[in-house]
Amino acid sequence: MKYIPLAARIYRVFLAWELEKVFYSFLMTKDGARMRQKIRDTTNSYIENDAPSQYRQVLKPNYEPGCKRRVNTATYLAALHSPNMHLAKDNAVKIGPRHVETASGETYPADAIIFATGFMTQKWLHPIQVKGENGRDLHQVWDSTGGAEAYKGTVVTGFPNFFILYGPNAATGQHSVIFHSECQINYTCRLLRQVLSGSAPAASIMVKPEAQRRDLAWVHGRLKNLVFNSGCQSWWMDPETKKNTFIYPDPMFLYWLRTIFPRWSDFEVRRVESPKSSISRVLTSALLSLGVGSLALMSLKDSERYSELISQYLQNFFPSLSLR
């Protein structure tokens, strides 16, 4: 493929669109429901054909396709046929010296136990401490809002020059995390360019509070009509506040477009005034003032008055200058 011009790029676009199409099954509409039913039928058929009969009902999802993170694999069901494999839809409640007890009262002998219970997905950036303006703690700010928040999943108001990759509401249920991270990296570089380049240096860039509120209102308004918020409990949702802090509620190609063209009115860029620029402005002002004064004085015939006015201008802008 590398010997055919543009072949790899075209193939990547094709794969991206195949993934992107899945997003439309997340919509809580008739078309979305029809697409989800196709996914459900395909999944159940795969389970019926490949899984051991005693596990089929355990394996079939009892929630809308897409409500929880989908895992695509061709080997998991095959592994369940192993004689030393047992699958139970139960909760472990007690661990003994050589066994595990479950909530249903079953006892399973065990030589080794692997805790595969996931991560603290709602503890964003834990345990890193991040301090913003006026010493505000990022985790305390997020706790006060019922879950992590960020403008386009990348920047947080009150925390200038702070950028997050794969941040709150930046995840995708259908596309590549790598592609999304590439979008965020390019977006971050575009924003930082305002700070690091140009004739007038900047101290910081920060998203405005009202811009972040508007962006988040749009995000959570859209999520209400998507399958991710349809009722199941997943690691996308905060278990206490039920706030979805993970999913970006649009196709990834739209996120790509929005990160290519930042809305600069949403940001506050704080400039640095260098000593050189300050002196330049003072001298420019002085020369302009003297020029205006000279034009006015050209109509005066009194030479003593002319001399007196010039002395006053010079004294105003250069107080340390002694005129005799």
User: 3-class DSSP state for residue 240?
Assistant: coil
User: Taking Cα atoms as reference points, which of 247, 279, 110 lies closest to residue 169?
Assistant: 247
The pLDDT tens digits for 296-323 are: 334 444 445 545 655 564 455 455 545 4
Q: Residue 149: how many CB atoms within 10 A of its CB?
A: 23
Q: Residue 316: how many CB atoms within 10 A of its CB?
A: 11
CA dihedral (32, 35, 41, 46) positive or negative: negative
Q: Provide the strand spans (E) within the chain.
A: 92-95, 99-102, 107-109, 202-207, 267-271
* pLDDT tens track, the chain, 324 positions: 778 888 999 998 898 889 899 999 999 999 999 999 999 999 999 999 999 999 999 999 988 998 888 887 888 899 999 998 889 889 999 999 999 999 999 999 999 998 877 678 899 999 999 999 999 999 999 999 999 999 999 999 999 999 999 999 998 888 888 888 999 999 999 999 988 886 677 889 999 999 999 999 999 999 999 999 888 878 888 888 999 999 999 999 999 999 999 999 999 998 876 555 544 454 445 444 444 444 333 444 444 554 565 556 445 545 554 544
The pLDDT tens digits for 161-198 are: 999 999 999 988 888 888 889 999 999 999 999 888 86
User: 3-class DSSP state for residue 87?
Assistant: coil
Q: How far is CA 106 from the centre of its chain?
A: 44
What is this structure's pTM? 0.75
What pLDDT, on the 0 to 100 scale, is given for residue 290? 44
Q: Give per-residue burial for 166-188: e unless 16+ CB within 10 Å, then b.
A: ebbbbbbbbbeeebbeebbeebb
The pLDDT tens digits for 5-35 are: 889 999 988 988 898 999 999 999 999 999 9
